[in-house]
Amino acid sequence: MTHPTPRALVLVAGGTNCDRETILALERAGAAAERIHIQSLIDSPDKIFQYDLAVIPGGFTYGDDVAAGKILAIQIQHRLGDPFREFAASGRPILGICNGFQVLVKAGLLPDLAKEQKPQSVTLTSNDCGRFVCRWVRLKSCSPLSIFSAPGTHIEMPVAHAEGKLVAPPQVIEDLKLAKQIAYVYSDNTNPNGSIDDIAGLCDPTGHILGLMPHPERNVSWHHHPLWFRKTRLQKTSPCERAGEGMGIFQNMIQHCREKIS
């Protein structure tokens, strides 16, 4: 028996703070989303299999102490390693946004959870400016593997992070490019953090695990884009008719689940 509406697990821990708007975006895209605390998942790990997809939203889990996302990554690795691997291996989409991306990378779920001998091959570290940055960027979708966006799609959304610079040894970057795992790059000179080769997001080799620094859930509504006024008033359309460009990522993920369950 499958669910008519895909069920989304939104994983939270102390310091998660984008769960509310992520749930709203998921619901608007057609999922039934539930906020689940990491501790209740540790208490009953099998719960994860009640869901068709998982999202780790943005925030400052455990205060970003030691390094952003590190402590939640350790909890996932050491308390929930097997269920997470099984969940991912079953083809269910996993999306990590901002802090969630940092978690996926540091837990070794991205870029490739199959390579177990080297659990972490890339990292996300302090922005070049040394400070937290909140600004709008332009993304270009690059990977034909990704179920989240068609290659060549341009999407605008904001970043809000202090540790978003993607860094890896040159060979790893080359391998990721060859494997088409660079999911998004910052385009039009909007790289906000000094990421190598403007990388903003990565997917795994199957294309259904995605991590990205910018926040798609902050561009799903008419008013989210800061230039909505110019775009609509000048075109004499009602502003409220527009949905944000970030919505596509959620819709594609949910569509993928629907096709899979039906």
Partner 1 sequence: MTQTCQIEISMRAQWRSPEILPVRAALEQEKKIDKSEIRFVQVYMLEGNLSSSQIQRAAQELFTDPILHDFRIDEPFDFFGTRGRTITIARLPGVMDPAEGSILRALSDLSIDATRVRRARKYHFLDFPSDLDLSEFAAHHLANPLIEELTEGNCLGNAFPPSKTYTFRRIDIPLEGLSHSELESLSQQMGLALDGLEMSTIQQHFQSLGRAPTDAELETLAQTWSEHCKHKTLTGPIDFDGERIENLLRETVAKATRTLNCDWLVSVFVDNAGIIEFDSKHSLAIKVETHNHPSALEPYGGAGTGTGGVIRDILGCGLGARPILATDVFCVGPLETLQNEVPSGCHPPRRILREVVAGVRDYGNRMGIPTVSGAVHEHPSFLANPLVFCGTVGLMPTWAATKKIHPGDRIVVAGGRTGRDGIHGATFSSQRLDSESEVVSSGAVQIGDPITEKKVLDALLEARDLRLYSSLTDCGAGGLSSAIGEMGEQLGAEVHLDQVPLKYSGLSYDEIWISEAQERMVLAVPPDQMESLEAVFRRHEVEATDLGHFADHGKLQLFYEGQQVCDLEMSFLHDGLPQPLRVATHPQTPPSSETPTSYPKNDNKLLLGILGTTGVASKEWIIRQYDHEVQGRTVLGPLVGSALDGPSDATVVLPIDGSLRGAAIACGGNPHLGQLDPYQMAAHAVDEALRNVVSVGADPDRICILDNFSWADTRRPEELGSLVLAARACHDTALAYRTPFVSGKDSLNNEFLTESGVRIAIPPTLIITSLGIVPDASRTISMDWKSAEDRVYLIGSTKPGLGGSHLHLKCGITGGSVPILDPKKARQIFLAVYEAIQTGLLASCHDLSEGGLAVAAAESALAGRLGAQLDLSVLEQETGLDVTTLLWSESPSRFLVSCPPESARSFETLFSRLKIPHHLLGKVTRGDSLQIRDSSGSPRIQLTLESVREAWQGRLEVLN
Catalytic residues: 98, 215, 217
Closest CA to 7 of 47, 38, 34: 34
Q: How far apart are the C-alpha atoms of 106 and 123, rounded to whole Å?
A: 7
Q: Does 44 bind partner 1 (CB under 8 A)?
A: no
Q: Where are the beta strands (DSSP E) in the chain?
A: 7-12, 32-37, 53-56, 94-97, 123-125, 133-141, 154-161, 165-167, 182-187, 199-203, 209-212
Q: Please choose, from the candidates 99, 88, 3, the residue with its C-alpha nearest in 3D space to the C-alpha of residue 58.
A: 99
Which residue in 239, 255, 260, 261 binds partner 1 (CB under 8 A)?
239
Q: Is residue 188 at the binding interface for partner 1, with CB under 8 A as the rule?
A: no
230 is a site residue for partner 1 (CB under 8 A): yes
Among 32, 47, 81, 125, binds partner 1 (CB under 8 A): 125
Q: Determine the interface stretch with partner 1 among 88-96, 198-206, 212-220, 253-261 (rule: CB under 8 A).
A: 212-220
Query: Does residue 54 contact residue 95 with C-beta atoms inside 8 Å?
Result: yes
- Contact set with partner 1 (CB under 8 A): 14-15, 17-18, 20-21, 24, 37, 39-40, 58-60, 62-67, 70-71, 74-75, 78-79, 106, 120-123, 125-128, 130-136, 158, 160, 167-169, 215, 217-218, 220-224, 226-227, 229-230, 233-234, 238-240
